[in-house]
Structure 1
Amino acid sequence: MSTQTIEKSTFPVTGMTCAGCASSVENILKKMNGVTEAGVNFASNSVLVSYDTETVSKEELKSHLQSAGYDIIITTENAKEEQDELQDKAYKEVKKRTFWAAILTLPVFILGMFFMSWEPGKYISLAFATPVLFIFGRSFFINAWKQAKHGKVNMDTLVALSTGVAYLFSIFSTFFPSFFEAQGITAHVYYEAATVIITFILLGKVMEEKAKSNTSTALKKLMGLQPKTLRAIINGSEQEIPIEAVEKGNTIIIRPGERVPVDGTVIKGNSFVNESMITGEPTAVEKSEGEKVFAGTVNQKGSFHFTAEKVGKDTFLSQIIRRVQEAQGSKAPVQKLVDKIASIFVPTVIGIAILTFIVWLSVGGELAFSHGLTTAIAVLIVACPCALGLATPTAIMVGIGKGAENNILIKDAESLELGHKVDAIILDKTGTITRGKPNVTDEKWLISEDKELLRSKLLALEADSEHPLADAVIRKLKEEGVEASKMTDFNSITGQGVKALDENGKAYFIGNRALVEGQGITIDTALSDTIQNWQDEAKTVVFFTDDKQLLAILGIADEIKTNSINAIKDLKDLDVAVYMLTGDNQKTAAAVAKQVGISNFKGDVMPSDKSDFVKKLQEEGRVVAMVGDGINDSEALAQADVSIAMAHGSDIAMDVAKITLTTSDLATIPKALKLSSKTVKGIRQNLFWAFFYNVISIPIAAGVLYSVNGFLLDPMIAGAAMAFSSVSVVLNSLRLKNIKL
């Protein structure tokens, strides 16, 4: 099996009704030749499949599942929309069936509870119960039969068995009461139990489907960011085309107020674009020729043309959507344990039900058969594994959705589960703690006359300079409205700076200290102290002179991000040890570390050194998180227990990282760790109540209290309790949507 032919795809699944169904879909796919891995998420109705495209096709996956009563949507275009339509249709259908089941169940319930001795009531109940079971509740029996053909059992098996047995027993009691009366037993009927069970479970499914649809709100919002159509120049003319038709290299026109449809580079015009969906920053960013634009961002008042470079699934927005989908379909390690339990749970419950019936027949006395049947039915119903199956995925989905709302994109559920255990975090410097973009931080002019004229000459000098720091000076002066003077005879002085002449032939220079000293210009002690202070703060000092005197000095630095200091303090408050590793020199590393309050730092670090440092901490028993944004961080990101890529990081870093932040704000990291803690707490609560519910309810349903106080759990009350347990788990998970990070 070639690694080149292995494809990993997420498919929407239809036809699943419980956690047992999810397990069945998973097992059916895993047993197929060519499938290397399959992971089903019941809460999102999706399956993540890794398969060899040379051995098995998507169509074969679909056909194989259809034979077992399930289906997957394999079309790549609008698959989610198609699934949403099918789910909406299914929701409306189950809602309608629930309504009519409830209408017909009500008289059966009244007759069974209050007029049980009225003989005609049995026949009326039979007439109403039959459509409830075999029209409005037919899906339980159909699905149970499909599972049985594949040698499998699931929740539908439990429902079909319990209600079917109750119905058949009641029919026998209705038409052949003498059989029981001959043994001195009252011929009870359980039409009300069968119908109420079906109705309660249908009602539970309505509530579950409604609740589950709320967990993917963030994903739907992300999908809504991409426009359906766009304007492009095709064969020299402007045309409106659907988003699916755009190709790399197309020239796309963006007008005021429009959303950018795909990723690309501006080639004409300029405007300000709101990139808050990517960066979390509310301030619009200026876009002009050569600037990158991203799908989903919103253009402001200007207009521009840009060349499409990343389209379809390759756009930044599509990558975000895909990561959220994959994350919602992935499983936390604790969920894998739940899946194993669920796969053996249903057969075990059926065994307990049979054993319960046998025990009652043996020791139940006069009403042994009647009580045995009642308790067996109650055990089958009350032990529904849905609450167990929904415990983890619903919490994971809501947690991931909450993360997406807070600029935290979680790539897989394992990182969400591990996050709260992190006790050591390694931060890269450039682009993580700092902005990753040099800016003029300090400016000191040594003369007062003709200052504005000199600033225009400075701009002209820097505009022709090839030095990487020149952009910082140019950006600052342009932001202040300075316009460049006319300068001539530009010359680069190797290792020192640049020189040019103004219209009067006077020479001006900009560069480093060596350039100043080369002109024979002296720097007094006070100014030397200022320069030293700036350098101690990891700032590069730039000198602006004419041919006789020093005119100004500028301090340029990669500034600390606004919230970095507070974010690092928050991490320490969470008892997380903070380390900073950077490829920058030790002096700069020390200056930055001092400013942000980090005592553990290293400079001049190579990429492999970062990875080795992660290993060292792990060997000490720490759970390590690595935060970076560049290719040089990818090795350490892959090694770390939890890896976090910052916004605008390299594609490699973002692919390796398990968590991607869509903002450059470091304060998002403590939020991610808190989100992990809250989500895991929600999972544990769900699992506790799901297990606790079954541990308590199964013995009660089996009749252990009968010898104490004569109590037997009515099957219809068992159905109500089962439905409530599933809904309560989903509602508990949904509480995560309201937590404050």
Structure 2
Amino acid sequence: MSDSVATQTRRVQLDVSGMTCGACAARVQNKLNRLDGVRASVNFATRVATIDAAADVAVDDLCAVVEKAGYQAEPRVDRPSEGIDPDARTARSLLRRLVVAAILFIPLADLSVMFAVVPSTRFTGWEWVLTALAAPIVTWAAWPFHRVALRNLRHGTASMETLISIGVTAATGWSIYTAFFTASATRQADGIWQALTHSDAIYLEVAAGVTVFVLAGRYFEARAKSKAGGALRALAALSAKTATVQLPDGGEMVIPATELKEGQRFVVRPGEAIAADGLVIEGQAAVDVSAMTGESKPVDASPGASVVGGTVVLDGRLLVEAAAVGEDTRFAGMVRLVEEAQAEKADAQRIADRIAAVFVPAVLVIAVLTAAAWLTITGDLDRAVAAALAVVVIACPCALGLATPTAMMVASGRGAQLGIFLKGHRALEAIRAVDTVVFDKTGTLTTGRPTVTGVIVAPEWEADEVLRRAAAAEAGSEHPLGKAIVSAVPAADLWEAQDFRAVAGSGVTAEVAGHVVTVGRPSWVSRGRVVPASLAAARRAGEARAESVVFVAVDDAVCGVVTIADAVKDSAADAVAALQREGLRTVLLTGDNAATADAIATAVGIDEVIAEVLPEGKVEVIARLREQGRVVAMVGDGINDGPALAGADLGLAIGRGTDVAIGAADIILVRDNLDSVPTALGLARATMRTIRTNMVWAFGYNVAAIPIAAAGMLNPLIAGAAMAFSSFLVVSNSLRLRNFDQKGQR
């Protein structure tokens, strides 16, 4: 493509509805890419089509192509994370259909089998009773499958919905025909085998059973997808919704953040999120950047400093000139990183969908050939239809559809007991090969809360007294380091302070017990004061340990040093050691400074450290490790970890972390105890073994049973019972996960 043409391209995003599987997304993507001047990528997870189109390609034309493929599309105005969750809406709809179908299925199954096997039990109007029980199930409850099957028919394609719809429709139609037009109310058979193989073909319970089982699988799948999509919704919720713009006359006006323009100046006050990336023009403040960079300590912002949208001003007032707004901000880039990482996973279609591409058309062809062969050989229409229907029924993907959801359900329940929540199955396919575990620092290996680690005082001063005076002065501060000092003193022992004053980026002063107490940066507190040699040495030692150092002065005398650090979790070292015993490579990946990162790594036993990395850099590190052939598990908790968690082969999020990290990860560690990391990996491996076993059984069963059904050796009633038995075996195998224990034994 020439430069002149390239400059005329634009990016368009469409919300696409009606997709039910990864194959649907691939179909839409292929249709769009056939247009000249169009390069499209369709994300099934977010239901968004991202299109780079030539300037002369109209958006309406793109929507028309999607609609011709059998789906609905409209230009995207807001991010899906800011609107209604389509997966939650789908899950609610499926649940309503599932409940109704399950309630009606129980009496239908009992009566249908009884009437078919023992015709003497039939009473006047029995066929109407069965029809009344089955009709809501095979029509309204099964409508999602029928709708997709009809759409597939219009476009000459097939999916699992096609096979489900045909099986349900055929079983229902033939059962009604048999019940109303051919069934004998008095026919008897000698022995149970004769009853089963020669009884009237009334198996409405087969049609209803397929509907109930597959609806259950689809419901749990939709619910899991809804939770996974919460990463984008949580991330969008953190952005500033409004911006206070400074007018030319010095006045202020609040506008939506989306209307902020590059070059405009806006005001940010304590507690507010910065609306855009920009340059500080006036003011000083401490800015909490941990959400975006992972830096545990607030960063001081003063005139000339750059600030990032999505970070929060803790104290002070800033006047910022917008340098990057809207989609150009680093925050928007983070959202795109999460979207792209999730799209990469969504491209790996479900195993059942991949099988369906060949399996469904093959089954339909076999059923047609079976009917034709029996009709040609015997001339018996009933026998021909029964054999063909047995093929369709025995091939219905009930067990195949249950193979993954049931294992995930049981594993999720057992995991909850162990403090682990398994969210999805896609990334778990790589769990056996995981050889590298990457840890975030703040909030993952550490508590994420600054804690006082030491109080060193000058001669003639008591450590308790200095700490109590410092805590009293900091009581009115919102700064995290100030809060750490206050929390180190019992509330009952906290002195009162007067004339409190905070100096942005420097510290605080207050009158405590008749003396002026100054607490803050060593360079600020020591200005004009003499620092005792012992306190200067304590400062250097604390900074060497990557601790935050605060000076305390009473009147004109510097009397103490308070060291503050993010404490390492008690369970961190044991968890790292357990992983290393299993032969796994451990890496510390953090946005914090190198000195702090090295200190934490040494404390927990990690040899490899990658520090001072921004969120996009974390994604690049994960990608680089994967390019080296590593299969990577990422453990994190912060907003800045979201893209990396989504991009790793396996993401593990600390349950007390941010919603973004939890939404982007595949495994949630509900407890803060890091011992659950090796346990989670063990449970994930056990879950994948169970899913693979289920899939092999379900598919192998269908392949083996189809020839038997085609040979006329299976009455559709027996085929339905066999299908149910296959589902029972799949569920039973999944239930074995309930015995998984802390050591990974089953």
Taking structure 2 as the reference length, what is the TM-score of the superposition?
0.59
SS in 2 for 1:430: helix
Alpha carbons of structure 1 residues 560 and 129: separation in structure 2 relative to 1, 3 Å: closer
Alpha carbons of structure 1 residues 554 and 358: separation in structure 2 relative to 1, 3 Å: same
Of 342, 348, 358, which aligns to 1:344? 358
Of 534, 559, 577, which aligns to 1:523? 534
The one-letter code sitting in structure 2 at the alignment partner of 1:441 is: T
Q: Distance in 2 between matches of 1:666 and 1:389?
A: 34
User: 1:202 Cα shift?
Assistant: 1.9
Report if the CA contact (8 A) 2:196-2:718 is conserved. Answer: no
Q: Distance in 2 between matches of 1:500 and 1:167?
A: 88
SS in 1 for 2:586: strand
Report if the CA contact (8 A) 2:394-2:705 is conserved. Answer: yes
Q: Could you give the per-residue CA deviations for residues 676-704 of structure 1, whole angstroms, max 9, x where no partner exists?
A: 3233223202211111211321233334x
The one-letter code sitting in structure 2 at the alignment partner of 1:578 is: T
Does residue 714 (structure 1) correspond to residue 715 (structure 2)? The answer is: yes
Report if the CA contact (8 A) 1:91-1:209 is conserved. Answer: no
Of 442, 448, 451, which aligns to 1:439? 451
Alpha carbons of structure 1 residues 582 and 479: separation in structure 2 relative to 1, 3 Å: farther
How many percent identity over aligned positions? Answer: 29
- The aligned counterpart of 2:206 is 200
User: 1:633 Cα shift?
Assistant: 5.9
Larger Rg: 1
Report if the CA contact (8 A) 1:486-1:503 is conserved. Answer: no
- The aligned counterpart of 2:399 is 387
The one-letter code sitting in structure 1 at the alignment partner of 2:358 is: I
Report if the CA contact (8 A) 1:208-1:726 is conserved. Answer: no
SS in 2 for 1:195: coil
Q: Distance in 2 between matches of 1:394 and 1:727?
A: 11
Q: Could you give the per-residue CA deviations for residues 64-102 of structure 1, whole angstroms, max 9, x where no partner exists?
A: 679xxxxxxx99769757863674356425643663574
Alpha carbons of structure 1 residues 193 and 158: separation in structure 2 relative to 1, 3 Å: farther
Q: Distance in 2 between matches of 1:737 and 1:327?
A: 29
Structure 1 gap segments, 5+ residues each? 14-21, 42-46, 67-73, 116-120, 176-187, 224-246, 250-263, 267-322, 707-711
- The aligned counterpart of 2:166 is 157
Q: Could you give the per-residue CA deviations for residues 516-567 of structure 1, whole angstroms, max 9, x where no partner exists?
A: 996373439xx96x88876665434555566898855433212112432233
The one-letter code sitting in structure 2 at the alignment partner of 1:156 is: S
Q: Distance in 2 between matches of 1:110 and 1:488?
A: 90
Q: Distance in 1 between matches of 2:217 and 2:546?
A: 53
Taking structure 1 as the reference length, what is the TM-score of the superposition?
0.60
Q: Distance in 2 between matches of 1:108 and 1:490?
A: 85
Report if the CA contact (8 A) 1:126-1:191 is conserved. Answer: no
User: 1:433 Cα shift?
Assistant: 1.8
Q: Distance in 2 between matches of 1:655 and 1:346?
A: 34
Alpha carbons of structure 1 residues 132 and 344: separation in structure 2 relative to 1, 3 Å: farther
For residues 121-520 of structure 1, the aligned pairs below 5 Å read 131=131, 139=139, 143=146, 146=150, 153-161=162-170, 192-196=199-203, 198-206=204-212, 209=215, 333=348, 335-356=349-370, 375-395=387-407, 413-444=425-456, 454-460=466-472, 462=474, 469-477=481-489, 479=491, 481-485=493-497, 512=522, 515=526, 519=530
Alpha carbons of structure 1 residues 507 and 95: separation in structure 2 relative to 1, 3 Å: closer
Q: Distance in 2 between matches of 1:692 and 1:85?
A: 32
Does residue 693 (structure 1) correspond to residue 705 (structure 2)? The answer is: no
Report if the CA contact (8 A) 1:488-1:500 is conserved. Answer: yes
SS in 1 for 2:534: coil
The one-letter code sitting in structure 2 at the alignment partner of 1:342 is: A
- The aligned counterpart of 1:106 is 114
Alpha carbons of structure 1 residues 370 and 554: separation in structure 2 relative to 1, 3 Å: closer
Alpha carbons of structure 1 residues 192 and 174: separation in structure 2 relative to 1, 3 Å: closer
For residues 560-579 of structure 1, the aligned pairs below 5 Å read 560-579=568-587
The one-letter code sitting in structure 1 at the alignment partner of 2:702 is: N
Q: Distance in 2 between matches of 1:405 and 1:37?
A: 39
Q: Distance in 2 between matches of 1:512 and 1:426?
A: 35
Report if the CA contact (8 A) 1:434-1:559 is conserved. Answer: yes
SS in 2 for 1:557: strand
Q: Distance in 2 between matches of 1:647 and 1:133?
A: 45
Q: Distance in 1 between matches of 2:138 and 2:513?
A: 92
Q: Distance in 2 between matches of 1:428 and 1:458?
A: 32
Report if the CA contact (8 A) 1:167-1:191 is conserved. Answer: no
Report if the CA contact (8 A) 1:521-1:549 is conserved. Answer: no
User: 1:440 Cα shift?
Assistant: 0.6
Report if the CA contact (8 A) 2:116-2:200 is conserved. Answer: no
Q: Distance in 1 between matches of 2:363 and 2:228?
A: 42
Alpha carbons of structure 1 residues 573 and 191: separation in structure 2 relative to 1, 3 Å: same
Q: Could you give the per-residue CA deviations for residues 462-482 of structure 1, whole angstroms, max 9, x where no partner exists?
A: 569999744432332364631
Q: Distance in 1 between matches of 2:124 and 2:22?
A: 40
The one-letter code sitting in structure 2 at the alignment partner of 1:523 is: S
Structure 2 gap segments, 5+ residues each? 1-7, 35-39, 52-58, 73-79, 185-194, 230-254, 258-269, 273-337
SS in 2 for 1:575: coil
SS in 2 for 1:154: helix
Alpha-carbon RMSD across the aligned residues, in angstroms, is 6.3
SS in 1 for 2:352: helix
SS in 2 for 1:345: helix
User: 1:385 Cα shift?
Assistant: 2.4
Q: Distance in 2 between matches of 1:678 and 1:24?
A: 28
Q: Could you give the per-residue CA deviations for residues 408-451 of structure 1, whole angstroms, max 9, x where no partner exists?
A: 77786533433443211222333332233322122356778887
- The aligned counterpart of 1:729 is 730
SS in 1 for 2:484: helix
Alpha carbons of structure 1 residues 480 and 567: separation in structure 2 relative to 1, 3 Å: farther
User: 1:719 Cα shift?
Assistant: 1.4
For residues 640-659 of structure 1, the aligned pairs below 5 Å read 640-643=648-651
Number of residue equivalences: 597
The one-letter code sitting in structure 2 at the alignment partner of 1:341 is: I
- The aligned counterpart of 2:92 is 84
User: 1:342 Cα shift?
Assistant: 1.6
Q: Could you give the per-residue CA deviations for residues 295-316 of structure 1, whole angstroms, max 9, x where no partner exists?
A: xxxxxxxxxxxxxxxxxxxxxx
Report if the CA contact (8 A) 2:178-2:200 is conserved. Answer: no
Q: Distance in 1 between matches of 2:477 and 2:209?
A: 72
Q: Distance in 2 between matches of 1:487 and 1:560?
A: 36
The one-letter code sitting in structure 2 at the alignment partner of 1:351 is: V
Report if the CA contact (8 A) 1:456-1:484 is conserved. Answer: no
Q: Distance in 1 between matches of 2:92 and 2:497?
A: 61
Q: Distance in 2 between matches of 1:635 and 1:143?
A: 37
- The aligned counterpart of 2:13 is 6
Q: Could you give the per-residue CA deviations for residues 589-615 of structure 1, whole angstroms, max 9, x where no partner exists?
A: 333222111122255667777566545
Q: Distance in 2 between matches of 1:4 and 1:644?
A: 33
